[in-house]
Amino acid sequence: MSTLTRPAVHRRSNTDRLRQGLANGKFTAVLILLPPALILFSLFVILPLADAAYYSAFSWNGYGTPTNFVGTQNYERLLDHSVFHTALWNTAKLILVSLLLQMPLALGLALLVYRKTPTNTLFRLVFFLPYILAEVAAGLIWSFVFDGDYGITAFMFQALGQESVYVLADRQWAFPAIMTVIVWKYFGFHMMIYIAALQSVPKDLIEAAKLEGAKPRQVALFVQIPLIKHAIVVSGFFAIIGSLQIFDIIIPMTNGGPSNSTHTIVTYLYTFGLSRLNIGFGSAAAVVLFVLAIGIALFYQRATAKEERT
Amino acid sequence: MSKQRASQPARGKRWLAAALAVSSGLAAFVAAADTTVRVLRVEISDVEKQYYADVVAEYEAQNPGVNVVFEYIANEAYKTRLPTLLQSNQRPDIFYSWGGEGLRDQVEAGFVRDLTEEMQDGWQDLYPESAVRAFTLDDRVYGAPLYATVVGFWANTALTEQAGVDIDAIETWEDLQQAVTTLRESGITPAVVGGQDGWPMHFYWGYLATRLAGGEGIEAAKQGENGGFEGEPFVRAGELLQAFVELNPFQSGFMATSYERASAMFGDGEAALHLMGDWDYIPSKERSMTGEGVPDEDLEFIRFPRVDDGAGNDDSFGGMNGFAVTRDASDEAVDFLRFLLNEENQREAARLGIFVPVAHGSEEELDTPYARKVAQILSESNFHQVFLDQALGTSVGATVNDISGDLAQGEITPEEAAAQVEEAWMFR
């Protein structure tokens, strides 16, 4: 945005820029402010990353120092592992569900409740409540809901005179059940982002559209949604990164089961890397996750930035 | 405070005397407690904690220079934190161990003290050979046994009698299958299993593999002999398990049931059988709705059935738990461990009924018929095979748990299951 508003400047050489930077004190600011951030960043982000990359070349159980160098074997095993494929596919499903189901749902609800009225406040609170709940607690609660003996599901099936279904023990239904919970858990968060953005849309624009005879649906489609595009881009980014990180809902619900069919990349990493003490293997999975996350983030940024410019 | 008091002449002398007394007392304390032995144990019942507290009190009374501290960590957390703890300078002197490949990892990383000489000095004669073997790697002993557990079928005889099944007549795998069929026909759930947790289902595959290959066959498979874990007995274990599951022996939705729930269900009389360790006696009662569980007169603990041509029909399957000593721990630590695991303390544990101790003769003190049955199975056993999910190490063990569940659900073939275990073993 800022690059657009600034008047066009003719290209200057780097040395010119440096000289000017030194003169106006920018350089001193950088010199003072950068090191603490850089030290913290290297210590807590770069160093562990480098460590993980290093360990991923070893077959190592976490005891002592890694000595058994195996090269790329961990990566080969990872890419061969059918459970890892399942985990990748599940993560992709989560991203798709977040983008195609959760975000439209959140947007629709936001359009319904963004105006400041007491009833709307109540609705917003209700929709936002799942997000406040701790992930582990949400997972536990839903594992009771889906319970085939005592859960609401069991009750419903019994009421219909049907044999009870054990949703979380069923390979077909376990992951859709998890996706439902994730949509339920996070749509409120995205809704809040949209509400904040919708409230900043100038009222006169909406009035003008209405005077021109636009129906509420058209107002939403042609005035409000285009104007909150930046919020949608941000919420899409959160949805993708969040999907890549899903872990603490799945562990209490299915622990990756039945038959390792509900793993995401992170639960895979935890189960096959950490809790089985294959630190080298887990590090390889972590490196793959990191590369994926960076790749997707860059791709997303490029794609959305391009759109913004046009 | 102290400054004010000191400035008051009347109290000055008294204060000085008190300070002297305290400081000399402190000096005496420091001089006396010059060695601290830290013991790390998986979280346990209050009764067992009290038992250790009593043993420690007695030891400290006999050895004024030593101070013993027990610390407890919950089961799963213990397993994941131990590697880090052993590498830090917070490492304990004595730590709880399940033996097997997990212990081997620790030994190979150089964290464990070799106890071979101390053990040969009369110590190991206290225990049966199979107990010492669980802590023996390449002829060196790296730990000492505390207690053994045995897996068998807990049976609710009220239900089996109702179906007309004679529980004591179940000798072979076919007998068990027959019993399952009869129970189903009578409308009784034959068995509960906590499929969600993995390890309870591994008891079926693991015990069948032990019956077929025998403890020695499993050792041979580890060396890659006879096709390793892809060998015939391991494939057949999968076949037997799948044929068994086809009889519909388990409660509905068994893969969504945790061990705790299964244990409660058995306690509530919802099924006739539960393949579980002897330790489930009290937990099953406590978890049941009444808190009473299956009444003792209706409760039996039976041996896992024999399998045709099984090389391990006289072997037992379960745990062998004990303690290992860290490499640079003091000699006092070894001395305390020897005291903790001596015959008198083992007998006392049996008297209290907190576990089934391994020392020779301690079974005489056991109170319940189940504990005595366990002791009998152990003493008659040729080879005590430690749970496969522990004996083969964390990583392979988890694979064994996975394939057991997959087999029960018909997700994989017995051949694929065996191949997965072998692959995990090669890459461990």
* pLDDT recorded at residue A307: 62
* pLDDT recorded at residue A153: 87
A→B interface, C-beta within 8 Å: 59, 61-64, 77, 147-149, 163-164, 166, 168-169, 171, 255, 257-260, 271, 274-278
Distance of residue B352 Cα from the nearest chain A Cα, in angstroms = 34
Residues of chain A with pLDDT under 70: 1-13, 18, 21-23, 306-310
B→A interface, C-beta within 8 Å: 80, 83-84, 86-87, 105-106, 108-111, 195-196, 198, 252-256, 394-395, 398, 402, 405-406, 409, 411, 427
**How big is chain B, counted in residues?**
428
Contacts of B255 in chain A (CB under 8 A): 166, 169, 257-258
Distance CA A309, CA A305 (A): 6
Distance CA A53, CA B127 (A): 47
Burial call A212-223: b when 16+ CB within 10 Å, e when fewer: eebeeeebbeeb
* pLDDT recorded at residue A12: 60
B68 contacts B60 by C-beta, under 8 angstroms? yes
Contacts of A277 in chain B (CB under 8 A): 83, 105, 394-395
List the single residue in B with minimal CA-CA distance to A163: B252
* pLDDT recorded at residue A8: 47
Determine phi and psi for B318, rounding to 5 degrees: 170, -150
Contacts of A168 in chain B (CB under 8 A): 256
List the single residue in A with minimal CA-CA distance to B252: A166
Give the pair of three-digit tokens for residue B21: 């007394």
Contacts of B84 in chain A (CB under 8 A): 62
CB contact under 8 A, B395 and A61: yes
CB contact under 8 A, A64 and B109: yes
Q: What are the beta bridge partners of residue B301?
A: B154
CB atoms within 10 A of CB A294: 10
Distance CA B387, CA B49 (A): 25
Chosen CATH of A72-306 out of 1.10.3720.10, 1.10.30.50, 3.90.730.10, 3.10.129.10: 1.10.3720.10
CB atoms within 10 A of CB A17: 11
* pLDDT recorded at residue A40: 92
Give the pair of three-digit tokens for residue B60: 């400290």
- In this predicted model, what pLDDT tens digit does every residue of B367-400 receive, in sequence order? 888 999 998 898 888 889 999 988 998 889 999 9
* pLDDT recorded at residue B335: 95
CB contact under 8 A, A63 and B411: no
Q: In terms of C-beta density within 10 A (0-12 exposed, 13-18 middle, 19 or more buried), how is residue A110 classed? A: buried
* pLDDT recorded at residue A255: 87
CB contact under 8 A, A171 and B252: no
Contacts of B395 in chain A (CB under 8 A): 61, 276-278
- H or E element, residue B21: helix B9-32
Delimit the CATH 1.10.3720.10 region(s) of chain A.
72-306
* pLDDT recorded at residue A304: 86
CA B265-B267-B268 angle, 5° bins: 65
B227 contacts B241 by C-beta, under 8 angstroms? no
Distance of residue A258 Cα from the nearest chain B Cα, in angstroms = 7
Residues of chain B with pLDDT under 50: 1-12, 25-31
Q: What is the DSSP letter of B250?
A: B
CA B391 to each of CA A92, B128, B421: distance values in angstroms, whole numbers, following the listed order: 37, 19, 13
* pLDDT recorded at residue A309: 53
* pLDDT recorded at residue B14: 54
* pLDDT recorded at residue B11: 47
Supply the ipTM of this predicted assembly: 0.74
